[in-house]
Amino acid sequence: MYKPPEETGVIVVGGSLVGLSAAVFLSFYRVPFVVLERHSGSSLHPRAIGFTARTMELFRQCGFDDKFPEVSKSFTLRRVRVESLAGKWFEEINWTERDSPKEAPTTAPPKIEYSPRQGAGIAQDTMEEILRQQATACGADLRYKHKVTRVAQDTDGVTVTVAKDDGAEYLLRGSYMLAADGSRSSIREGLGIKRSGRGSIQVARSVLFRASLDEYLQKGVSQFNIDQSDLKAFLTTYSDGRWVLIFIDDIERNEDELKAAIHQAVGRMDIDIELITTGRWEMTALVANQFQADRIFLAGDAAHALPPNRGGYGANTGIADVHNLAWKLKAVLSGQSKPELLETYDDERRPVALLRHDQIFVRSDYKAHLVSPSGETDVIDDDAMEFGQLYRSQSILGAGKDLPKARRPDEWAGQPGSRAPHFWVRQQGKTISTLDLFEDKWSLLFQNEEWKHAALQLNASFPITIRQVQMGIDVGLSESDTFTKAFGISSSGASLVRPDGYIAWRSVDLPSTPGDVLRDALAHAAFLV
Ligand SMILES: Cc1cc2nc3c(=O)[nH]c(=O)nc-3n(C[C@H](O)[C@H](O)[C@H](O)COP(=O)(O)OP(=O)(O)OC[C@H]3O[C@@H](n4cnc5c(N)ncnc54)[C@H](O)[C@@H]3O)c2cc1C
């Protein structure tokens, strides 16, 4: 017999990268939640190392992106086919062929700065520790060695049975659940949600080890396809003395065999190797056919398992999932928005995952594994994939089906459904990014004073506060048309930005009744009660 369940707003199952990111974002939006993780902490075997500038923008919104060291502006993740580190080096393999330096025109225009941040190269376990500290500092309830063994949802909430390490069990009830329980998600399976996609590619084995091999990183290459007749493997570093050798086979090797393979991949017998751990994992490409089942949401690998790739489409996609969902949960749990707002999570995030799935297999690293082309078969520009995948949902006004799935921010020019563009502005003597203007609220960006009155009127009568930013007055612009060009409006227009930094609606010019038009747009996009 259990005690009556404890109650919370959101139950997060899984305290790895995506569950911890959810903890950070839910804390930021002041949503009550509990994270349940069956293990005692991070996996000994870090997986991800590449975190994109877009991910850093999300952490910047929560005010702690400075915890992650930036890669240099000219950084690209370079991969070379080699005999061994010390042996012959063959050709370089580009992630996106169009970015090949060989093809770059000699008079290429300077690259547009799409983000206030560079990405970060940091091992997943180190990243998770930073997220854990950030969430804990915000008072998050993170419960390790707490395994969810049963899930039941009804019309009002979700109740889980939790087994603790000592065998004791208890019930926890939440209004909603976020399943960040990984690729083999038992929650997804329990809900009977199927997945689609390329499917299983292969089972891979890996060995994590420590060795002094930094001399081989001096040319700026950090990924190596080892190509010997009796050793085909992938070698890379976590840039902290740890390296991982991934075998593209499913053979179990003992310690001596592992060390021999590492020596062979390095091409030297005289290096000291400290074995840390080994891994066995399935390289798979599958996207869940739905990301929501009533009050339960799938996020991260539970929603989309994609093979490791240089676009960072794995962990980074999962982090963006929970960022998309956190403010919506806040809006609904606070009674401000109708629960239908939550349905836009699937509408917005599933197409992102599907496009990323397809883009992996049109690039050289995985082309050989493409079985039957589906969806988009052209290679999409990397900046468009990172900053410009379009959201289409009932929370976005004016993002029609005819629009492409992804474009670069300058090409979108403020299109509703795209992330608001970044450019630098001056505020109170400081240079900040436009992305820093949004904080955790709906924001209206405009130049014409009329919009200020419209927003103030709305704030007085609506259960929601719009932050007003009069561009050129509240913040200084480098050039008079920087704002209108980037947001695709005239100097009398306005752009309404959601709490997650996506443009929900814009008015290119000043309508005759801006107050009414703004109220209708906000009521629609925010699903106001
Ligand atoms: C070799 C490799 C390299 C990679 N490199 C990159 C990269 O550079 N960039 C990138 O973006 N992605 C990368 N990825 C992908 C990335 O590692 C994953 O996308 C990411 O770990 C997914 O995080 P997650 O939190 O969704 O799932 P997981 O990390 O799988 O975590 C799920 C968590 O849920 C817990 N859990 C499961 N069931 C329960 C339960 N019933 N109760 C309580 N807890 C439960 C598990 O213990 C686990 O901690 C890489 C992957 C691999 C394999």
Q: Tell me the pLDDT tens digit for each residue of 138-156.
A: 999 999 999 999 999 999 9
Determine the CATH number of domain 420-525.
3.40.30.120
181 lines ligand 1 (CB under 6 A): yes
Has residue 375 got a pLDDT over 70?
no
Choose one of 17, 132, 385 to mutate for the ligand 1 pocket test, by most ligand atoms within 8 angstroms of C-beta.
17
Distances (CA, A) of 525 to 327, 410, 437, 505, 528: 13, 24, 19, 8, 8
> Which residue type occupies 166?
D
Closest CA to 519 of 494, 501, 486: 494
Cα-atom radius of gyration of the chain, to the nearest Å? 24
What number does the ligand 1 atom closest to the CA of 42 have? 49
Centroid of ligand 1 to alpha carbon of 22 (angstroms): 13
Return the HEC string of 186-220.
Answer: HHHHHCCCCEEEEEEEEEEEEEEEECCCHHHHCCC
47 lines ligand 1 (CB under 6 A): yes
In the chain, what is the straight-line distance between the N-terminal and C-terminal CA atoms, in Å?
Answer: 39
Looking at ligand 1, which atom is closest to the CA of residue 313?
11
Residue ranges of domains in the chain: 6-68+119-194+287-386, 420-525
Instruction: Report the distance separating Cα 350 and Cα 445, nearest Å.
Output: 29
Question: Measured from the CA of 299, which atom of ligand 1 is nearest?
Answer: 26
Instruction: Give the 3-state secondary structure of residue 338.
Output: coil
CA 149 – CA 161 distance, rounded (Å): 6
Q: Ligand 1 center to residue 47 CA distance, Å?
A: 8
Cβ atoms of residues 75 and 134 within 8 Å = no
Q: Which pLDDT score, from 0 to 100, does residue 109 have?
A: 56
Could you give the strand order of the β-sheet that contains 494-497, starting from the edge strand earlier in sequence? 466-470, 442-446, 494-497, 503-507
Q: Is the pLDDT score of 201 beyond 80?
A: yes
Residue 493 Cβ < 6 Å to ligand 1: no
Determine the atom of ligand 1 nearest the C-alpha atom of 300: 26
Quote the ligand 1 centre to 17 CA distance (angstroms): 6
Does the CB atom of residue 18 touch ligand 1 within 6 A? yes
Q: Is 49 in the pocket of ligand 1 (CB under 6 A)?
A: yes
Given a contact cutoff of 8 angstroms between Cβ atoms, the answer to whether 211 and 266 are in contact is: yes
Look at residue 99 and tell me whether its pLDDT is greater than 70.
no
- Residue 73 CA to ligand 1 center (angstroms) comes to 28
Q: What integer pLDDT is reported at residue 103 of this predicted model?
A: 45
Region 162-183: what's the mean pLDDT? Answer: 97
Query: From the alpha carbon of 318, which atom of ligand 1 is closest?
Result: 26
Q: Which of 65, 10, 61, 36 is nearest to 325 (CA)?
A: 10
Give the per-residue pLDDT at 209.
Answer: 98
Residue carrying structure tokens 């998600």: 185
Any long-range contacts for 230-239 (C-beta under 8 Å, 24+ apart)?
231/261, 231/264, 231/265, 233/261, 233/265, 235/85, 235/265, 236/49, 237/213, 238/46, 238/49, 238/123, 239/49, 239/121, 239/122, 239/123
Q: How much is the pLDDT for 364? A: 82
Question: Of residues 383 and 76, which shows the higher confidence score?
Answer: 383
The stretch 205-217 carries a mean pLDDT of: 96
The phi-psi region of residue 413 (left if phi > 0; otherwise alpha if psi is between -120 and 50; otherwise beta) is: left
- Centre a 10 Å sphere on the Cβ of residue 257 and count the other Cβ atoms it contains: 12
Average pLDDT rounded to a whole number, residues 186-214: 96
Residue spans of beta strands (DSSP E) within 67-194: 78-82, 89-93, 120-121, 141-144, 146-153, 158-164, 169-179
**Which two three-digit tokens encode residue 521?**
């747009």
Q: Is 119 in the pocket of ligand 1 (CB under 6 A)?
A: no
Query: What is the pLDDT averaged over residues 381-387?
Result: 95
Q: Specify the ligand 1 atom closest to the Cα of 17.
A: 25
Residues 460-509 pLDDT 10s:
988 889 999 999 999 999 999 999 999 999 999 999 999 999 999 999 99
Over the chain, what is the mean pLDDT? 94
Burial class (CB in 10 A: 0-12, 13-18, 19+), 132: buried
Residue indicated by tokens 């969430």 = 135
User: Cα–Cα distance between 118 and 289 in angstroms, integer?
Assistant: 33
Q: What is the pLDDT of residue 491?
A: 97
Residue from 181, 284, 313, 360 whose mutation best tests the ligand 1 pocket (most atoms within 8 A of CB): 181
The mean per-residue pLDDT over the stretch 273-290 comes to 96
Kindly give, in sequence order, each residue whose CB lies less than 8 Å from that of residue 211, ignoring residues fewer than 6 positions away: 241, 243, 262, 266, 271, 272, 273, 274
Percent of the chain's residues with pLDDT above 90: 88
CA 130 vs. chain centroid, Å, equals 16
Residue pair 317/291 in contact by the 8 Å Cβ criterion: no
Residue of the CA atom closest to atom 38 of ligand 1: 181
* C-alpha 99 – ligand 1 centre gap (Å): 29
Q: How confident is the model at residue 102 (pLDDT cuts 50, 70, 90)?
A: very low
In angstroms, rounded to a whole number, what is the distance separating the alpha carbons of residues 445 and 344? 23
Kindly indicate the confidence band of residue 110, based on its pLDDT and cuts at 50, 70 and 90. low
State percent of the chain over pLDDT 70: 97
Residue 97: is its pLDDT beyond 90?
Answer: no
Ligand 1 atom closest to Cα of residue 149: 41
How many CA within 13 A on the CB side of residue 280? 5
Q: What integer pLDDT is reported at residue 76 of this predicted model? A: 84
> How far is it, in rounded angstroms, from Cα 223 to Cα 227?
13
In degrees, rounded to 5, the angle at the alpha carbon of residue 63 between the alpha carbons of residues 57 and 65 is 50
Query: Ligand 1, from 11, 12, 13, 16: best to mutate by most atoms within 8 Å of Cβ?
Result: 16
Complex-level ipTM beyond the 0.90 threshold: yes
Interval 2-45: pLDDT, tens: 788 899 999 999 999 999 999 999 999 999 999 999 999 999 99
d(CA 432, CA 476): 10
> Average pLDDT, stretch 294-308?
97
CA distance 494 to 507: 5
Please give the number of the atom of ligand 1 that sits closest to the Cα of 283: 53
Is residue 17 within 6 Å of ligand 1 at its C-beta? yes
Cβ–Cβ under 8 Å, residues 283 and 308: yes
Q: Where is average pLDDT lowest: 279-283, 298-302, 315-319, 472-476?
A: 279-283
For 421-438, what is each residue's pLDDT tens digit?
999 999 999 999 999 999
Read off the amino acid at residue 34: V
Instruction: Report the C-alpha gap between 529 and 524 in whole angstroms.
Output: 10
- Does residue 301 line the site of ligand 1, with CB under 6 A? yes
Query: What's the pLDDT band for 105 if we cut at 50, 70, 90?
Result: very low
Nearest Cα to Cα of residue 225 among 214, 237, 217, 233? 233
CATH 3.40.50.720 fits 6-68+119-194+287-386, yes or no: no
Residue 100 has pLDDT above 80, yes or no: no
**Who contacts 512 (Cβ-Cβ below 8 Å, separation ≥6)?**
none
Task: Name the nearest CA neighbour of 437 among 483, 393, 468, 400.
Answer: 468
CB atoms closer than 10 angstroms to residue 18 = 29
Substitution site in 47, 149, 291, 359 for ligand 1 pocket (most atoms within 8 Å of beta carbon) = 47
The answer to whether the CB of 343 falls within 8 A of the CB of 328 is no
Looking up tokens 């690259």 gives 111
